[in-house]
Structure 1
Amino acid sequence: MFLESLNINVAPYATITNLEDIQHAATGIGFPSILKPVRVERNKPENIVLYSEQDFEKARELLQTGTCMLEAWIPFEKELAITVAMGSTEANITHFPVSHTIYKAGILQTTITPAQIDLEINEAIQQVAQTIARSLQMPGILTVELFITAAGAVYVKKIILYPHESCDYSVDACNVSQYELLVRSICGFPLPEITLWKSNKSYPVLEEGFEKALRDIQAHPEWLFHFYGEAAKEPERKVGHLTVLDEKEAELPKE
C-alpha cells in the first residue's frame, strides 16, 4: 500500500471483493470494522460499520460498486485534517494549519482551526502531509484526514485529491484560499506561506439546514457566509458554509 511504503501509520486492513472475503478478513481484523469503497463517487455509499457477522449482508450493495477495503476500527480522541498544495517542484509546497474536524454519521458538522493539539503532534502531521504530497509528485492540492488516539498515536484515515470542505474556512480566515492555491499550483506559480488571520469554526450548510442558516446569519451579523446556488433538492447536499471568526475559540500550538 502507498502509505505503508512511506512508513505512515494506517489501520489494519484487507482488500475485499465479495462477502466471503469479509468473513475471512474479519477473523483477523475483528469488530467493529469499517468497509470502504476503493473509489468514492458522489451519491454512492461511502462506508459501512460492521459490528458483527450479522452485519455482513449490509455490505452487499456496497460491494456491487467495486473493490472495497475492510479496516479495523481505531478508537480515536479526535479527527484531524490538513490541506497541502504543491507546485511543479518539491520546494514549491505550502500547507494550511491542522484542523479539528467533527463528523456525524459520516457528514462533516464542524471544522475548528487550528486544532488544539500538542506542538509535537502538530509538526508530525505537517511532515506526514508533506511527505504524501511530495511522493505523489503531482501539482495540485490534497487534504489528509487523520485520527489521533488518546495515547497520541496518529493514523491516516483518507487522502482527498481535490479542495475539501474542511478547508473552506480559508476563504475568509487566511491570506489565500485553498481554491486560489489550486490555481497557483496547477499554473506553476509560486505558493505563498499560509497565514491564519484568526482561529475559527466553520460549518457546512446542507440543503435541509438552509433556512436555519439564513436565520442564523440574520441573528449574527459577524458570521461570514457563502451560499453556492445549488439547485438540487437533496437533504444532504452541501449548499454553502458559515465561518465564525473568534480568536478565543482555539489556541495555536504552544511552543
Structure 2
Amino acid sequence: MSIKRVGVIGGGQLALMMAKSAEKLGVELVIQTPNKDDPAVTIAQSTIFAPINDAAATATLATRCDVVTFENEFVDLAALAPLAEQGVCFRPSLEVLSPLLDKYHQRCYLQQIGLPVPKFATLENVSEPWQFPLVLKSRRHGYDGQGTFIVKDADTLHQLTNAGKKTSFLVEEFVPFVKELAIIAARSPNGEIVTYPVVETQQKNQVCHRVIAPADISTELTNLIQEMAGNLLHNLQAVGIFGIELFLVGDRQVLINEIAPRTHNSGHFTLDACEVSQFEQHLRAVCDLPLGNTSLRSPAAVMINLLGYEESENDYLVKRQQLAALPNAFVYWYDKKTSRLGRKLGHVTVLLDSNTDAEEVAQIIESIWYV
C-alpha cells in the first residue's frame, strides 16, 4: 500500500519539524491537536482541533489518512484500542507503546529483555531503606523536568508524595553518572534498523540544554549502545523512530534511563548535521519506505535549546538574527506565542569542523540568548 497521508496525534514542534521531510517524500500531514495556535497547525494539510486523547477525534483523523503516528506519548491506549481492532493502522502500534508509556512498566520491560537500568521500585513497594539522594518520577506525563525530582532527604520525599497524592510515582537510585548520552534509532515494518551517532546531552534541572554530536566515547561503547538500541527495537517489533537516553557510569558501563517512542529533542541536530533527519526517518519508517543514511555531514555538531527565561509575548527576532549570523548555524523557531521559564521556544544547531570546540560555540550561543 502506498502511504500518502500520515495522521499525527499532537501538534507541537515535533510535528512542525516533520513538514519539510513530508514535502520531500510527497506525504501530506493531518494533525490532531487541541489549539489553533499550536505550532504544527500552520503546516498541516488539515487539522482536527481536539485533545490528543479524544478517541472520537482520532477516529475522524483515521478516515483522512493511511496511517496514524504520535508526536508525544500522552495518549490513552485503552480509548484507542477499539480503533486498532477496527483496522486503524497505528505506527508504532498500541502493543509497542503499551510497555513504554508508564515509566515503571518501561523499566520492568527493559529489565525483562536484559537491558541494564538503574535500581527502581514503585513508591508503594519500596521494601528497604534507600540511600539519599534518590530520584522520584511521575510514572505518566512527565517531560522536560516536570514530574522528576532529586530528593535529598526523607522529609522532602514525604512532602512531595503528600503533595502529589493522586500521582503514581517511580523511585529510582540516583546514578552518579560520568555523562548523559542518547541515541536515536529507527525500525521499519520489514525489520530494517538504523541508528544515529551516539550523542552527549547536557541537562540542567532535568531539562536538556545542549546536545553534542558525536559523543566523546570509545568505539567499543558506541557499538554497545547501538547494539542495545537495536535489541530494544527488535524485541518491541517497533515501527518508527525512538529516542533512548542513557547514563554512562565509569568508563564502560551504561544504564538506560528512559525511552521516548517518537522523535526526540536529542535528535534535533540531525535536521542539519545528518544526511537524513530523524523526522524524515520517522516518516520513512511509518510509510514503509527504505530507511535513509544516518551519517554525519560534518565532523561534529552542537545543538542548543532556546529555552524561555521570562514570562513574555516576544518573538525574539533580533536575537534569532544574531544567532543565524553565526558561521554554520541553523536556527529553528517553534512559533509559540508566549514564553515562560524553561519552555522550549526553538533550537540552534551549529556544524563544527574537527578543530572547533563545541563548548565554546555553546557558550557563544547562550551568551546571545540569555543575556
Fold in common (TM above 0.5): yes
The reply to whether residue 232 of structure 1 matches residue 332 of structure 2 is no
Match of 1:5 among 107, 112, 117: 112
- Letter in structure 1 aligned against 2:109: F
Q: Indicate if the aligned counterparts of 2:335 and 2:345 stay in contact, CA closer than 8 A.
A: yes
**Mapping of residues 131-142 of structure 1, within 5 Å:** 131-142=231-242
Match of 1:204 among 300, 305, 312: 305
Q: Deviations over 1:155-199 (max 9, x none)?
A: 000001111111101011111111111111111111023121111
Distance 2:145 2:111 in 1: 27
Cα distance change of structure 1 residues 218 and 145 upon mapping to structure 2, 3 Å threshold: closer
Q: 2:74 aligns to what?
A: none
Distance 1:36 1:132 in 2: 22
With the length of structure 2 as denominator, give the TM-score of the two structures. 0.61
Distance 2:254 2:217 in 1: 12
The reply to whether residue 117 of structure 1 matches residue 223 of structure 2 is no
State the structure with bigger RCO (CA 8 A, min sep 6), 1 or 2. Answer: 1
Q: Indicate if the aligned counterparts of 2:320 and 2:331 stay in contact, CA closer than 8 A.
A: no
RMSD between aligned residues? 2.3
Distance 2:288 2:163 in 1: 39
Distance 1:244 1:208 in 2: 22
Q: Which moved more, 1:55-64 or 1:182-191?
A: 55-64
Q: 1:153 aligns to what?
A: 253
Q: Indicate if the aligned counterparts of 1:37 and 1:62 stay in contact, CA closer than 8 A.
A: no
TM superposition shift of 1:44: 8.4
Distance 2:145 2:206 in 1: 13
Q: Deviations over 1:12-56 (max 9, x none)?
A: 111124xxx5xx4560x3211101112124688321111111212
Cα distance change of structure 1 residues 34 and 43 upon mapping to structure 2, 3 Å threshold: closer
Cα distance change of structure 1 residues 219 and 172 upon mapping to structure 2, 3 Å threshold: closer
- The SS at the match of 1:89 is coil
- The SS at the match of 1:2 is helix
Distance 2:290 2:144 in 1: 36
Distance 2:255 2:288 in 1: 31
What is the number of residues matched between the two proteins? 244
Q: Which moved more, 1:105-114 or 1:47-56?
A: 47-56
What's the % identity of the aligned pairs? 27
With the length of structure 1 as denominator, give the TM-score of the two structures. 0.87
- Letter in structure 2 aligned against 1:159: I
**Mapping of residues 23-42 of structure 1, within 5 Å:** 24-25=126-127, 27=129, 29-41=130-142
Cα distance change of structure 1 residues 142 and 152 upon mapping to structure 2, 3 Å threshold: same
Distance 2:226 2:163 in 1: 33
Structure 2 runs not aligned, ≥5 long:
1-107, 359-371
Q: Indicate if the aligned counterparts of 1:112 and 1:250 stay in contact, CA closer than 8 A.
A: no
Q: 2:90 aligns to what?
A: none
Q: Indicate if the aligned counterparts of 2:209 and 2:304 stay in contact, CA closer than 8 A.
A: yes
TM superposition shift of 1:108: 0.7
Distance 1:104 1:228 in 2: 21
Q: Deviations over 1:62-94 (max 9, x none)?
A: 74453221000111100000001111022x111
- The SS at the match of 2:309 is helix
Distance 2:357 2:325 in 1: 23
Q: 2:347 aligns to what?
A: 241
Q: Indicate if the aligned counterparts of 2:273 and 2:351 stay in contact, CA closer than 8 A.
A: yes
Q: 1:94 aligns to what?
A: 194
Structure 1 runs not aligned, ≥5 long:
none
